[in-house]
Amino acid sequence: MKQESLSKIIWRRFKSNKLALAGSILVLTLFIVAFLAPLISLYDPTEINVKEILLPPSKAHLLGTDELGRDVFSRMIWASRVSLKVGFIAVGIAVGIAIILGSLAGYYGGRVDNIIMRFVDIMLCFPTFFLILAVIAILEPSITNIMIVIGITSWPGIARLLRAEFLSLKEREFVAAARALGASDWRIIFNHILPNALAPVVVAVTLGVAGAILTESALSFLGIGVQPPTPSWGNILTSGKAYIDFAWWLSLFPGLAILITVLGYTLLGEGLKDALNPRL
């Protein structure tokens, strides 16, 4: 009987999880929409038309218009690009910090581990969202600042996962063999241990993207995130709260977009966690 490869086992587990497949379809759809935004968008998302203020959904404006006569459908499509950009770059920053600190703590242990993990504990003591609010309030609200702040406040959890993996993997035979062959510490860390420790990181990254998108939407809703006229699901929601009694579409559609996107990434992350779990 031919032995099944690890990648095939993971894929078989993943595709048997219907919720995970549904999440991956939602995420893929979001990518396609964001990539094809110039083609799908019917209007300029920043174009003001005072003759078409607060029109309900119709054939001309699929999701209605806002208080400045801008097409909500077009703004929603372009806002998906902002959400993906913030999500992936912020998580990329977090993963970069976590890989360096988590790897050093887990591999060297001792004093290095104590210093790094006490710093991680300090970071985890702060309420993350309020820390982000404080930093953004000091800095000028912009997409760049939001990505950086979310990134530098989101790494501790990933660093702890990596440290735990390194503590286990550094005692394995292949690491001892690499040391015996004269491999340097950096070569052992990045060429031998890290590739085998990335499974939980992949799951954390997937869930982290959902968290970053939700945080960006919350900041934009509060008015200290992505600034108009750049469209964001959060600032579309903000513009709709003053007209919620009669312009329901300004609150419903961006709210659904945030819900579906976060749900998609969460289902995908949970599916990957089950598929990559060696105990199953």
pLDDT tens, residue by residue, 223-264: 888 888 888 898 898 888 888 888 899 999 999 999 999 999
Q: Give yes or no for residue 25 having a pLDDT over 90.
A: yes
pLDDT at 1: 46
- Residue 278 has a pLDDT of 61
Half-sphere exposure of 32 (CA within 13 A, CB side): 6
8 A C-beta contact, residue 136 and residue 146: yes
Report CA torsion sign: 64, 66, 71, 74.
Answer: negative
Instruction: Give the start-to-end residue ranges of the domains of the chain.
Output: 17-33+61-93+127-159+197-276
Supply the pTM of this predicted model: 0.87
Say if residues 143 and 219 touch (Cβ distance below 8 Å). no
Largest CA-CA distance found in the chain, in angstroms, rounded = 77
**Which spans in 1-142 are helix H?**
6-15, 18-35, 37-40, 72-108, 110-125, 128-138
Q: What is the mean pLDDT of residues 152-177?
A: 89
**Can you state the angle between helices 249-276 and 18-35, rounded to 10 degrees?**
130
Confidence of residue 198 (pLDDT cuts 50, 70, 90): confident
Residue 108 has pLDDT above 80, yes or no: yes
Q: 65 forms bridges with which residues in the sheet? A: 71
